[in-house]
Amino acid sequence: MPDNDSTDKPSERPPLDIEDWELAFAAYKGNTSAALNMGFCLMVIKGYLSYDPPKIEAVLKGIDHAILALYPYTQFHDICHDMYIKVIGGDLTLEEEEKLKNLGIKF
């Protein structure tokens, strides 16, 4: 039985809080159309999760599409797609992390 939910389940991530979203969406400042479009996309995902039963596969596919669409806007676009997936998934090895730092990649 876990004693500490935040440390006994290292594969689970904590829920996203408002600060996480503020950081993620800071790039939308001054681009109201893009911000509105993101709101529409999030509402579609929310709608799929509200169905009975929830359309989990549609949500996962939509999130996968979002991750792929976001990739060209990252500094990983010039390096490696697989490394990008590892970074956002929290799956980097210490060796890989050091390599990226040596390349000047910040994350």
79 plus 105 within the same structural domain: yes
- 40 within domain boundaries: yes
- 21 within domain boundaries: no
80 plus 56 within the same structural domain: no
80 plus 105 within the same structural domain: yes
- 94 within domain boundaries: yes
Predicted local distance difference test score (pLDDT) of residue 61: 96
Q: CB of 105 within 8 A of CB of 76? A: yes
Predicted local distance difference test score (pLDDT) of residue 6: 46
Q: CB of 25 within 8 A of CB of 38? A: yes
Number of domains observed in the structure of the chain: 2
- 69 within domain boundaries: no
Domain carrying residue 85: 74-107
Joined tokens for residue 13 = 């991530």
Going from the first residue of the chain to its last (107 residues), give the mean pLDDT of each consecutive group of 10, the final group possibly shorter: 48 84 94 94 96 95 94 80 86 89 82
Predicted local distance difference test score (pLDDT) of residue 2: 46
Non-local (6+) Cβ contacts of 36 within 8 A are: none
54 plus 81 within the same structural domain: no
Non-local (6+) Cβ contacts of 28 within 8 A are: 34, 35, 38
